[in-house]
Structures are given as C-alpha cells and as structure tokens.
Chains A and B, each alone.
Chain A
Amino acid sequence: MKVTINGVPREVAAGTTVAEAVSEMTPAAAGIAVAVNDEVVRRADWAATRLGPGDRVEVLTAVQGG
C-alpha cells in the first residue's frame, strides 16, 4: 500500500506498524516523535498502530534552531 513518510511517497507492506516504519529510518528511538495524519502517535502505541493506505506519516526530531 502507498503511504507518505516525511513527504516522500513510499510503498510499504500491508499491516506495517509505526514502529516498523520508524525502525527502517533510524535505529534510535530517543528524541523522535511521530504523527500520522496530523495526530501524534505516542511511543507506547507505535508497535500496535498499523498504517493504512494513504496515511501521511511525519517522523520528527530536534535540530539546531531558535
């Protein structure tokens, strides 16, 4: 199924969880937050939250700024 991760269209297996999508990007979990369709998915819920077709996933971290 097609999803968008950080603005980039991606093809992922049906049933892919947020935890799986994040672990493909980075081994680190600290300092990272995820939103799916503009709603924050709490870290404790990453493993149980499955992505659906067309979902917009944002994976953010802290960078230099301000």
Chain B
Amino acid sequence: MTGMPEMTGVTGMPGAATTGTRGPEHADAPDGAGDALVLAGEKFASRLIMGTGGAPSLEVLGEALDASGTELTTVAMRRLDPTVAGSVLDVLGERGIRVLPNTAGCFTAGEAVLTARLAREALGTAWVKLEVISDERTLLPDPIETFDAAERLVADGFTVLPYIGDDPALARRLEQAGCAAVMPLGSPIGSGLGIRNPHNIELIVEAAGVPVILDAGVGTASDAALAMELGCDAVLLASAVTRARRPGLMAAAMRDAVLAGRRARLAGRIPRRRYAEASSPAITPGGTAP
C-alpha cells in the first residue's frame, strides 16, 4: 500500500472530510460534479490542470487535452525557433483552454521573475506557475529562490502559483506572501512515484486558506485520486498522460480519478479500524437472523 496514509491515532483519520479548516465550506457541495475550483476568483469546472510537456505531437496532445476535460494548462517559455511549425498556443486556443505559463528551467529568482514578465507580455496573462529548480538531476524546487521570486512577483501584480516541496511551513509562508495557491509535489517531476508523503500533503491542506494543487509525481490514476482524497483542490500532471502508451485513454482515466477522489473527499471516508465491523445485522445467540 505504498503511498497510503498511516493511521494517525486520536487526531482523526487521514482523508476525513471533516478535518481541516476548509471542511465546512466544502461540505455544502453535494457532489464532485458541479463544484467548481476557484483560483484567484476564477472558476474552473475541472479540477485537473494539465501540463503539455512530453507529448509526442501536438495532435496527440490535443486528443489528450480533450479527453482530460481540463480548462487550465501550462506552457513553458523558450527562445523562439523559427523552424518549428505549429504552436502549443494554437492547440490550447482552439479548445478555449486557459494558458498558464510556467517558469520551468529557471534556477534563480531573477530568471524566474524575468521569465514571468516575458510570459505576461507574450501571452497576456498575469498568472504564473512559479517554478525555480535547484538542480537538473532531481528538478526539486529551490525553496529560497522560490520564496524570493514569489514576493517579487506578487509585488508586481502577478497571480502566483508556486511549485514547492511537500513542506507545510513553506506553504504557509507563501500563502502569507500573497500567493493565490500552493502547489506541493507528490514526488519529483516525471518520476511517476506518486505521493511520497501523504501526511505532509494533509498538513498543508489543513492549514491552507488558498487552494492546494498537487503538482508533480503522479504516475497513474490512483495517485490523482489519492491527492483529491487527501483534500487537495486540484491536481496538475503532464508526463503521466503525455508519456503513457495511450495518452488519450490515460487522460480520460485521470479525469475520472480526480472526480472520484473529489467525491470521496466530500463524502467523507469511514475510519480505518484494526478489526472488522460487521455490515450485516448481528445474529443474537440462540436466535435466527432476520
């Protein structure tokens, strides 16, 4: 059961919808469908945010995006290559999918701030997925540079969605700095290792007053469902779909998984027990079952 939360004793059960500061707000929603994700005041019917990296072609990417039902999708900013035909922007534009530029590839706050400003100029959006990595081998986010960049971008009027480790303290500091969401990783980008520390994801969810988006590490549909069961507001993934043998089919699976996990979260899971609890009425001694 790799990735499943451990029992946490008297403090309650992981994944219980009633824990956390945001339980009552969500309790009004009767159903995972029709309960919108609200990010920086904007509503999204889908809680699946897609990345576009890794797709073998724009055609395959388009099919996967259609199957995913996503309404918000990331792109990266790179030097213009005039020899490249077609643009990921066309794929998104044709589908009415909102573009979320990222700062992937940046190692310093300065690089990330410039990249965000270039993205704002190129794409006409002040939203940015802030991503400042520490090294090429792990692609793990650098918390110091990320926080520095977040402060500068918030001051410059950006809607900042920072990619971070599964660190509850940093998540809280970034929220206080004015970020519109926090995006903790499940495991390293592209690793497919799922959610390595579900307890920390729960701690982030419990404390957060902004949406929590599980970002990076999702390998298959159950990972996405678990993220939602833990109380995340949305899931961002790319490689799990774009590098799957059949991207369109995996995208459909992710769409279902996010919705199933959301519904389970809202429904409130039963407590984990050490022993059985009969689901049929008890048989009284000497009597007969009804």
In Å, the complex CA distance between A59 and B76 comes to 14
In the assembled complex, how far is the CB of residue B124 from the closest CB belonging to chain A, in whole angstroms?
Answer: 9
Interface 0/1 of A43-66, CB less than 8 Å to B: 100000000000000111111111
Interface 0/1 of A32-45, CB less than 8 Å to B: 11110010101100
Majority secondary structure of chain B interface residues (helix, strand, loop or mixed): mixed
In Å, the complex CA distance between A60 and B54 comes to 20
Are B51 and A61 in contact (CB-based, < 8 A)?
A: no
Are A40 and B55 in contact (CB-based, < 8 A)?
A: no
- Residues of B within 8 A of A (CB-CB), count: 37
In the assembled complex, how far is the CB of residue A47 from the closest CB belonging to chain B, in whole angstroms?
Answer: 15
Are A64 and B79 in contact (CB-based, < 8 A)?
A: no
Are B104 and A40 in contact (CB-based, < 8 A)?
A: no
Are A66 and B119 in contact (CB-based, < 8 A)?
A: no
Interface footprint category on A: 20 to 34
Give the residues in chain A near B115, CB-CB below 8 Å: 60
Contact of A66 among B87, B114, B129 (CB under 8 A): B129
Are A62 and B114 in contact (CB-based, < 8 A)?
A: no
Interface 0/1 of B53-75, CB less than 8 Å to A: 11100100100000000000011
Q: Does chain A have a CB within 8 A of B274? A: no
Interface 0/1 of B104-124, CB less than 8 Å to A: 100000100011011111110
In Å, the complex CA distance between A59 and B118 comes to 9
Q: Does chain B have a CB within 8 A of A25? A: yes
Are B78 and A61 in contact (CB-based, < 8 A)?
A: yes
Q: Does chain A have a CB within 8 A of B248? A: no
Are A31 and B87 in contact (CB-based, < 8 A)?
A: yes
Closest 10 CB pairs of A and B: A65-B76, A66-B74, A33-B122, A33-B121, A33-B118, A66-B51, A62-B75, A66-B102, A64-B52, A6-B79
